[in-house]
Amino acid sequence: MTKQSNNLRVFLLGAANRPKVLDEAARLRPIIKKFAQIVCDDFTGTADLGQLEADLAIVLGGDGSILRAAHQMGQRQVPVAAVNLGKLGFLANMTPEELPGVLKDFHAGKLDTREHLMFDCTVARNGEVPFRQLGLNETAILAGAPFALIDVHLYVDSDLVTTYSCDGLIVATPVGSTAHCLSAGGPILRKDLQAFVVLPLNPHTLTMRPVVDAADRVYEMVVERPNEGTAVVVDGRMICQLQPGDRVRVARAAPRFKLVAYPGHTYYRALREKLGWGGRLNFNHS
């Protein structure tokens, strides 16, 4: 039996400093209320959504806003309906005009929810773990000032793989393969694959190529002689500056990022339109 529409509980989220977000939220709010109860609207990124109950998160903006919402939800991920108000969004693939139909169909149980890999990043230091972060896109170790190459030891399931002499190292999820990883020349992974990409940034040895391996493995990185500015960055946020011997660990997280799948928005359509595979780039397409 279908629930009454006022039983559908939603978050309404976005970044207030992004163009059109607040105006579009004001326009869409009465439309959303026809289908659902808004239990929290947050355009500052400060609400602890993991403490609230909801059935759906409506995110207005681009992929950056979706990343922020995933961090806010933490261990209690709810499905995301991603409305693209930005330019180039691989996750935000729905137009504002499609949202009412999505809400109606989601409430009726007609839409699938696709689950995607998330990871836990921890930094072990002197026998303790002072830094921990849930992520969706990638963990990056960046050399930083004074911008000399660093040596990054990579271990997979405690076995030493190699030592990269490079400007940094990225461990990315399939969702993150179209973010920093793609810009750095990494491969594109289908978003529902259970795998990680390991990508060295500007390696000193040209035979050091990207590697794709299973998500069930544990990836650890050690920089014995970091630069003064060498840092660990998760989804674009600096977690900490590295000290000699710190052990950065990346492993599959228990929560899964959940994205509402709307008919017509397919994986290869997104690549074709966002990357200009049809012969031209269209950055304004949502």
- The residues carrying an active-site annotation are 63
Alpha-carbon dihedral angle through residues 83, 85, 90, 95, given to the nearest 10 degrees: 50
| Range 39-45, long-range pairs (CB < 8 A, 24+ positions) | 39/9, 39/10, 39/11, 40/11, 40/12, 41/11, 41/12, 41/13, 42/11, 42/12, 42/13, 42/72, 43/13, 43/14, 43/15, 43/16, 44/16, 45/15, 45/72
Angle at 213 between CA 215 and CA 209, to 5 degrees: 140
Side-chain-side CA neighbours of 20 within 13 Å: the count stands at 12
What DSSP string describes 91-112?
Answer: S--B-GGGHHHHHHHHHTT-SE
Neighbours of 31 (CB within 10 A): 13
What single-letter amino acid sits at 155?
A: Y
Report residue 88: phi and psi, to 5°.
Answer: -120, 95
Place of tokens 């529902």: 192
What single-letter amino acid sits at 160?
A: L
Say how far apart CA 126 and CA 247 lie, in whole Å: 9
